[in-house]
Amino acid sequence: MPFRSRETLERWVDEFHEARGAGERIKVIVQDGTDGDDTGLVIVPLENATVTIFMQPVEVGSATWSVTIEPHPDSTTLSSFQLHGMAVELSVAAELCAYLEARSVGHEETSGD
């Protein structure tokens, strides 16, 4: 079944960063797939928030991606400047998700490639 390896996702994130000039803190971490393959998980750290954002395909082989925002127990209090910065970071995350979906269309990679 087609999937995206961690190496493929790292390449795509690097290409996005080079083309967009943003997202230098975005990284891909190890995530074991259902068959033990390293499918990768894209993490988008936010500078001024106490939430974690990650994105991944809705299911293995799908070109549709989902963004998950996980809250932390602490509240986030921001100045207007920090809130604007967070809005920019969220915009970059949305652009990256759309980019990953576009790159996933027709992408064929199988276990062991």
pLDDT in tens, 7-19: 999 999 999 999 9
In the chain, the amino acid numbered 98 is A
Closest by alpha carbon to 69, among 83, 47, 52, 85? 52
pLDDT in tens, 70-112: 888 888 889 999 999 999 999 999 999 999 999 998 887 766 5
User: Are 56 and 65 spatial neighbours (Cβ–Cβ below 8 Å)?
Assistant: yes
Q: For residues 30 and 39, give the distance between their C-alpha atoms in angstroms, rounded to a whole number.
A: 7
User: Are 86 and 78 spatial neighbours (Cβ–Cβ below 8 Å)?
Assistant: yes
Q: For the whole model, what pTM was predicted?
A: 0.85
- The residue whose two tokens read 């750290």 is 45
Task: Enumerate the β-bridge partners of residue 27.
Answer: 43
